[in-house]
Amino acid sequence: MFVWSRLSSAQWSDSWAERFSGHNGAVITVIPGRKTVRVELYCVEKREALTVQRQFGGTVRPVRSRNWAALRLELPPPVVVRNALLVSAASDKAKLAALAKANPRRTIISIPPDMAFGTGHHATTASVLRLLVDFSKSRKGQAWTLCDLGTGSGVLAIAAAKLGARDIYGCDFDPHAVRVALHNVKRNRAGGVRIEEADVLRWKSSQRYDCVAANLFSDVLIAAFPKIVRIMKPGGTVLVSGILKSQSAECLRAGEKAGLKFDTIITKGKWVTARGRREDFMP
């Protein structure tokens, strides 16, 4: 048994928890009186610990005494999104078929935990998924396009494909997330989805979208809002998340300054998600 570990700023705790969700060897320790947390991942294989180290830095060391049997992988429960979708961590065909049988009105999406954000469990992903279902219903069968900035596991892009979007673009600046998203697109046979590695803050696009999903962080959103407004079609919708409650006023103000009007604001725990439109094209 080996443990990979590193220190991280406390503000990234949720991101680490989400990345390693489904892995029973993940431990996040709050260090009293400090703004850092210790993130550890206990792995049966040294190879696994070294892969995580290559990606995220930190150290790897062997561990001796522990009840390793308790660390077996258990899948988190599926995430149900209205009557439309069910996101499961299972990849096993029989389990997915059983879920489909038990949920005949929902499309099943398989996102096994794989160190990319976006299993559907995090409050930000769950809220955007719900708003995406609502958006798809508002299209009443008309084709629509989606741009997914910070795609992570690709869950939003895949959900859009299942909800009737035709032309879907997703990007992430984390090459591992891009690899995971591409696998997930293939695994779920999500048609019309293009994923690429790109930093939202440097990325340029001349295409315009009916819907832009941006589950990023406040500072990235604040910097990216003018660009987000430029890639929205007239009357288009933006779904933003990843905003801490304590930063939401400043973040949403920056969106309004860039030309957005927010009509729905959802707070779940410490996270805020909002739906906006281009103010110059309000219906």
Ligand X SMILES: C[S@@+](CC[C@H](N)C(=O)[O-])C[C@H]1O[C@@H](n2cnc3c(N)ncnc32)[C@H](O)[C@@H]1O
Residues 151, 184, 188, 218: which binds ligand X (CB under 6 A)?
151
Point out which span in 22-30, 159-167, 195-203, 253-261 binds ligand X (CB under 6 A). Answer: 195-203
- Candidate segments 44-52, 98-106, 212-220, 245-253, binder of ligand X by CB under 6 A: 212-220
Q: What is the 3-state secondary structure (H, E, C) of 140-208?
A: CCCCEEEEEECCCCCHHHHHHHHCCEEEEEEEECCHHHHHHHHHHHHHCCCCCEEEEECCCCCCCCCCC
Residue 125 within binding range of ligand X, rule CB under 6 A = yes
Q: CB of 52: closest distance to ligand X in angstroms?
A: 15
User: Strands 165-172 and 144-149: what pairing?
Assistant: parallel
Confirm or reject binding of residue 210 to ligand X (CB under 6 A).
no
Binding mask 98-117 for ligand X (x = CB under 6 A): -------------------x
**Can residue 174 be called a binding residue for ligand X (CB under 6 A)?**
yes
Select 130 or 279, whichever has its Cβ closest to ligand X. Answer: 130
CB-based contact 66:80 (threshold 8 Å): no
Residue from 109, 128, 146, 158 binding ligand X (CB under 6 A): 128
Burial class (CB in 10 A: 0-12, 13-18, 19+), 249: exposed
* Cβ pair 273, 218 in contact under 8 A: no
Which amino acid is it at 82? R
Q: How far is the CB of 122 from ligand X (least distance, A)?
A: 6
Q: Work out which of 58, 112, 113, 150 binds ligand X, going by CB under 6 A.
A: 150
**Rounded to the nearest 5°, which phi and psi values hold at 268?**
-130, 110
Q: Is 156 in the site for ligand X (CB under 6 A)?
A: yes
Q: Is 220 in the site for ligand X (CB under 6 A)?
A: yes
Q: Which among 2, 10, 67, 13 is positioned nearest to 41, based on CA atoms?
A: 2
Q: What whole-number distance in Å separates Cα of residue 260 and Cα of residue 256?
A: 5
Applying CB under 6 A, which residues contact ligand X? 117-118, 124-125, 128, 150-152, 155-156, 171-174, 177, 199-201, 215-216, 220, 242
